Amino acid sequence: MTDFQQRDPSSPAFWDERFERNFTPWDKGGVPQALRDFAAANGPLVTLIPGCGSAYELALLAELGWNATAIDFSPAAVAQGKAAAGPHAARVVEADFFHWQPAAPLQLIYERAFLCAMPRAMWPQVAARWAQLLAPGALLAGFFFFDDAPKGPPFGISRAQLDSLLQADFACIVDDAVGDSIPVFAGKERWMVWRRL
């Protein structure tokens, strides 16, 4: 195990250290097929990508004409995201998900290893913020990591926990297996779409 000084994943410094040392086992190095398929079938949508990391998805969505913004609270992640986004680098913004405000009403929040990066105690805050940012009919779509290992990140969730987090404000309309997971998520993630009630 790499010897890191920062141990609190709710701190930007935790993620800065990992990006600066190129320790990013959650980084696919590209765009997952389920998002490609979703983008081809929907949109363009006003989209937020929280905890964007390298922001490969932002470049894809921007090239498809989507009004997408990627945010991360780690300066090192934002620098990497801007580099990966190329001509769309201005859409990668250093911001805290819990305080960021959209310029236009969001139609989609894309979830990719954001919830599982947060300590479990913060999950109710994440779910409440998703609900706050999305109007009725808007979508929360992406990958959800199901695991019961006590340590993380990634911090896995059970389906019952996810339902209890989201069912007051969202209805699950898609729940599919993922065929192109990276090793850290293999066999433990689902592509899900939740519609804001």
**pLDDT greater than 70 at residue 127:** yes
Name the DSSP letter for residue 91. Answer: G
> Which pLDDT score is estimated for 13?
81
Q: Look at the block and give the residue holding tokens 């990497």.
A: 80
- For helices 56-63 and 33-41, the axis angle rounded to 10 degrees is 20
Residue 17 confidence class, pLDDT cut points 50, 70, 90 = confident
Q: Is 54 helix (H, G, I), strand (E, B) or coil?
A: coil
Summarize pLDDT for 154-163 with one digit per residue, the tens.
999 999 999 9
Instruction: Kindly list the distances between the CA atom of residue 135 and the CA atoms of 42, 106, 121, 125, in Å, as whole numbers in the listed order.
Output: 17, 7, 25, 17
Per-residue pLDDT at 48: 98
Task: Please name each of the domains of the chain with its CATH number.
Answer: 12-18+32-196 (3.40.50.150)
Model pLDDT, residue 25 = 60
> Cβ atoms within 10 A of the Cβ of 174, count?
14
Sign of torsion, CA 154 157 163 168?
negative
pLDDT score of 43: 82
Residue 166 in this model has a pLDDT that exceeds 70: yes
Closest CA relative to residue 139, chosen from 58, 196, 101: 196
Confidence bin at 51 (pLDDT 50/70/90): very high
Percent of the chain clearing pLDDT 90 (strictly above): 79
Mean pLDDT of the chain: 92
Beta-carbon contacts of 163 under 8 Å, excluding residues fewer than 6 positions away, are 172
pLDDT of 2 strictly over 70? no
Does the pLDDT of residue 28 top 70, yes or no? no
Rounded average pLDDT over 53-72:
95
pLDDT at 1: 47
